[in-house]
Structure 1
Amino acid sequence: MTPTVAGLLQAGVLVVALALVYKPLGGWMARVYTSEQHWRVERLLYRVVRVDPDSSQRWTTYAAGVLGFSFVSIAALYLMQRLQALLPLGFGRGTDGATSVSPAMAFNTAVSFVTNTNWQSYVPETVLGHTVQMAGLTVQNIVSAAVGMAVAIALVRGFAHAGTGDTEGRLGNFWVDLTRGVTRILLPIAAVAAVVLVGAGVVMSLRSGVTVTGVDGAQHTLPLAPAASQESVKLLGTNGGGIFNANSAHPFESPNALSNIIEIFLLLVIPVALTRTFGVMVGNRRQGHVLVAVMGGIWAVFVVLTWLAESFPNGPAALAAGGAMEGKELRFGLPGSALFAVSTTGTSTGAVNAAHDSLSGAGGGIALLNMLLGEVAPGGVGAGLYGILVLAIIAVFLAGLMVGRTPEYLGKKLGREQVTYAAISILVMPALVLLGAGLAIALPGTADALNNDGAHGFSEVLYAYASAANNNGSAFAGITVTSDFFQASLGIAMLFGRFVPILAVLGLAGSLARQRRIEPGAGTLPTDGPLFATLVGGTVLLVAALTFFPAMALGPIAEALS
């Protein structure tokens, strides 16, 4: 079987699998967030934390819950790393013992995992022990994803709200949405996925390592870890942090082509199915079909372009090898690597099964552009849905300007307040990326962190801040980010890149929920057909192109043309 045929089969199997679960999973999530029944274990939890599960919150109260929970999580994870030497199973895998993580690195890591970024400026095998990995990082992989889903559902409720004169615009209860996202969606699927991954050959062990004799006759210690359980949640929750430094390129995390396609499925399944949830909750399933068509169209085009870029790169060495094989795992090949690279940068996951720093100039540029679109193809768990809905609002607003009518979307008028919230949401990320990258390039001494100069070196810096501000977590590995400047600046980019858009989205949701629903008229733009899908897709590409083309021209475009 040729690599091309194998790649087409992988892509076909992936698309069919997503199509099969789209309706049942999307429908189930809609029922989860609209049900008035509480499970017994959920009621027990509400009593312990003294939450009234039947109360509904204004957007400001909902936002306070999101921020309060997240910042307490940052503090707890920071303390776990600083006190690691005192914890059970705190040994560093492959070392004599783990020590406390440095303050700057502990801050960066805590912020990274709580913001669903999972940026890693450390070597997991030697820095973190099993307790911090399992009780700290894996827990945040679950709850940070649940936070993103809760925010997306709050925005959907803003659209779905019938508008009965409720001037407070209540959006539901954050603590209920958070709990249900964990207990009814993420934990059950992750548990099943972990068992499937173990069956596919992924390692699951609490031992610190195993000693083996190499072909040279010398003994070596291979670090072990409870990889399968973390692998499932890091992908399902679009987190991305590897339990090994090589991430999903490590044979203990993904040993073969079967595990590779399972992992790509996991990182796509919830963001894709959430569009069905949206359609069900607003009472028009075709609205969800429009969004998934935009997401799928961008994803498919980027997969093809990346595959072509890696199959026909510049340079005699790569051409002689039959493709840009540097940094790729032979057990996945170019098709499996392209599928993973586009899926992970399009879903704010950040997991990798190939070295993105070794991608061709065009291939690396596509991965970077995929993040700079706002990661909406299909985007992170929850973040992808509310991100593309914000861009849909911008698209409706632009269409209204062109025809001279007040824009309407799903029965809600889009005035100055709504467009202001949407604009804030989409402008935060570009500001963080461009200011952060510019500052890192301009400051004296920061260039020492780069292992490459020229266009590729600039791409490494731009990619780092794009990854942080978009809460992705992947990196061009040629940049060393262990200095206090990078630890702090990237941590700040993660914080603002996560929570400022969330606040804007919740403010938008509250303003929509306060409105009465209006019936569509003769001049209302239809938003459930191919014309609107084209308009939204064009808006996604246009916003990114106008914002980032100069920066892209200095980095990946210049490298691709060299």
Structure 2
Amino acid sequence: MIWWRDVLIIGLIVGLSIPLGRYLAAVMTGQKVWLSVVFQPVEKRIYRFLGYPDTPDDMTGRQFVVAIVALSAISLAVVMGVLMTQQWLPFNPNHVHNVPWDLALNTAMSFVTNTDWQAYSGETAMSYLSQFMVLTTQNFVSAAVGVAGLLAVIRGFSRKESATIGNFWVDVTRFTLYVLVPLSVVLTLLIVSQGGVQNFAANHLVQGTLLPSGPASSQFAISLLGSNGGGFFGANAGALFHNPTGLSNLFESVAIVLLPAGLVVMFGQMVGRRQAFVLYAVMLGILVLAIIGTTLSELHLGQHVAGVAGSTAFEGKNVVNGIGLSALWNTLSTAVSNGSVNASLDSFTPLGGLIPMLLMQLGEIVFGGVGSGLYGMLSFVLLTVFISGLMVGRTPEYLGKKIAAYDMKMVSLAILLPPVLTLTSTAIAVSWPGIGASLTNTGAHGFSEILYAFSSMGNNNGSSFGGFNGNQLMVNVVGAVLMGCTRFVPLIAMVCLGANLAKKKQMATSSGTLRTDTGLFAVLLLFIILLIGALNFVPALVLGPIADFLTAR
């Protein structure tokens, strides 16, 4: 039986996320932790570099948004600049050329938005300087930006009649120093211990086969921990030098979900454990059902469905991981908006590919991206509270804060914009002249490849279904706009929501207050997620993977 490995990995994620969440709460509320001796002097020097004499003052919502936009704009310009000039810069032993402007724009926007969609193969298209200086750096920065946005929302609930929601620079600095850096060092050493590549040697050919080198393990570690997923090599975690053994696959699978799950525990530490338990249970329940569905599809349908390219149970899967761990990894990575892959999704059965696609389309809320997953789930929580309040005639409240019209406008923007733009981008691509030449498959499977690509970009995931050439002008430009809008508009909307909530009074719980820490509320939340999140994509899914399943023989 293969299920024991799934149980082990899920058990490790749950078990480790609890102490990690407590540590996160201590760090992000400014308490001393065991790493303070090492990082507190560094933290203070960073504040002085930013122009603050000591710990920076708290920001208003507008100041918080300006800081997000400023850092992201600078990051975008720097990444594009390095990629477009990399052949003239150092650390380029493979003599790769400059990246064309459209691919540079797409790649820069991808890494700045924590999406890490890659329309290139890293070992042949990127210099080592591009990989470790700008792309790896953005894996840290973009994850920290998402957590800063989450903290703005949490403080909105926890503060009373406050004009501020914390300081963006403090949140980014602390999360990077105290959380991302130490975890990345540990995971890098674990990957290297299993045979992962970490050097500056040039690629070389052995009997006509390219053996890639480079500082790969350090980038892969933070890409997993930060819900980025971008691979140093084109095959991502399916490459031998990224994910060499079953033990490395275990470490890396846990790393995908560890921080997103830990942030839910942190939320409980900061606002109420019972509230966090409900969210954790809903997220974990959806994730477990998705893992079971994907695995069963690959185990039992893969041998009988002669899908596109004659799909079989083992096609497109690394023999080290086999069917079970391949299904598990790709379910985890699409649920958490990580985007890394250890198998070819294009070779999955139609239903095995549908579940990861649907997990992305739900809006990266099943633990989701670092920071962005939890504030995405909180937007569905507020929508559930609002709808439930209307149904029973009670004032919508959550954590003692009244949910008013402005709050629901921000929630609606965060929930509805990604599916609208994702489907619009898919329609543009499908209608684009000559798009068929970019596909390796036709019919429903070909449409699935396009739908998956834009679902991945539109939900900050970055994984690739395969079979679709994303490196073309239209896809690069449309994808860059899609990734930018679906990352920053919901993020800014949630920061504005947090700022508005922080100004409100804390309302006392009464007999008329709808309880949000019960099993009944968890069921309502799950219903709203499926009703609003999933139904947006049902027509497109019918045309893609469902039609592919019904017509496959």
Shorter-chain TM-score tier:
over 0.9
Partner of residue 321, structure 2: 332
* 2:11 is aligned with 1:16: yes
Per mean C-alpha deviation after superposition, the further-off stretch among 397-406 and 15-24 is 15-24
Partner of residue 20, structure 2: 25
Partner of residue 280, structure 2: 292
Name stretches of at least 5 consecutive residues in structure 1 with no aligned partner: 213-217
* 2:370 is aligned with 1:381: yes
CA distance in 1, matches of 2:489, 2:470: 24
Partner of residue 291, structure 2: 303
- 1:179-328 maps to which residues of 2 (within 5 A)? 179-212=173-206, 218-282=207-271, 284-313=272-301, 316=304, 324-328=313-317
By how many angstroms is 1:447 displaced? 2.8
Q: 1:299 to 1:88 in 2, by over 3 A?
A: same
- Contact 1:432/1:465 (<8 A) preserved: no
Partner of residue 215, structure 1: none
Per mean C-alpha deviation after superposition, the further-off stretch among 530-539 and 328-337 is 530-539
TM-score norm. by structure 2 comes to: 0.95
By how many angstroms is 1:223 displaced? 1.4
The secondary structure found in structure 2 opposite 1:435 is helix
By how many angstroms is 1:133 displaced? 0.5
Name the aligned partner's letter for residue 276 of structure 2.
G
CA distance in 1, matches of 2:208, 2:457: 39
Residue 62 of structure 2 is aligned with which of 57, 60, 63? 60
- Contact 2:47/2:56 (<8 A) preserved: no
CA distance in 2, matches of 1:403, 1:422: 21
Partner of residue 113, structure 2: 115
CA distance in 2, matches of 1:263, 1:459: 28
Per mean C-alpha deviation after superposition, the further-off stretch among 58-67 and 193-202 is 193-202
Q: 1:253 to 1:369 in 2, by over 3 A?
A: same
* 2:48 is aligned with 1:47: yes
CA distance in 2, matches of 1:239, 1:274: 16
Partner of residue 96, structure 2: 98
After the TM superposition, which parts of structure 1 deviate over 6 Å for at least 4 consecutive aligned residues? none
- Contact 2:152/2:495 (<8 A) preserved: yes
The secondary structure found in structure 2 opposite 1:204 is coil
CA distance in 2, matches of 1:221, 1:300: 38
CA distance in 2, matches of 1:134, 1:391: 36
Name the aligned partner's letter for residue 243 of structure 1.
F
Residue 332 of structure 2 is aligned with which of 332, 339, 343? 343
By how many angstroms is 1:545 displaced? 2.8
- 1:132-531 maps to which residues of 2 (within 5 A)? 132-161=130-159, 163=160, 165-166=161-162, 168=163, 170-212=164-206, 218-282=207-271, 284-313=272-301, 316=304, 324-531=313-520
By how many angstroms is 1:538 displaced? 1.6
Cα RMSD (Å) of the superposition? 1.6
Residue 530 of structure 2 is aligned with which of 509, 521, 541? 541
For residues 99-148 of structure 1, the C-alpha deviation after alignment (integer angstroms, 9 at most, x for no partner) is 11111111111111111111111111111111110011111111111111
CA distance in 2, matches of 1:198, 1:190: 12
By how many angstroms is 1:46 displaced? 1.0
Name stretches of at least 5 consecutive residues in structure 2 with no aligned partner: none
CA distance in 2, matches of 1:516, 1:9: 49
The secondary structure found in structure 2 opposite 1:368 is helix
- Contact 2:302/2:312 (<8 A) preserved: no
The secondary structure found in structure 2 opposite 1:348 is coil
For residues 180-234 of structure 1, the C-alpha deviation after alignment (integer angstroms, 9 at most, x for no partner) is 010011001110111111112212121112443xxxxx45441112221111101
- Contact 1:85/1:91 (<8 A) preserved: no
CA distance in 2, matches of 1:322, 1:558: 16
Name the aligned partner's letter for residue 287 of structure 1.
Q
CA distance in 1, matches of 2:540, 2:137: 36
Aligned residue-pair number: 542
- Contact 1:312/1:323 (<8 A) preserved: no
For residues 363-408 of structure 1, the C-alpha deviation after alignment (integer angstroms, 9 at most, x for no partner) is 1111110100111111010011101011100111111111011111
Name the aligned partner's letter for residue 198 of structure 1.
V
Per mean C-alpha deviation after superposition, the further-off stretch among 11-20 and 273-282 is 11-20
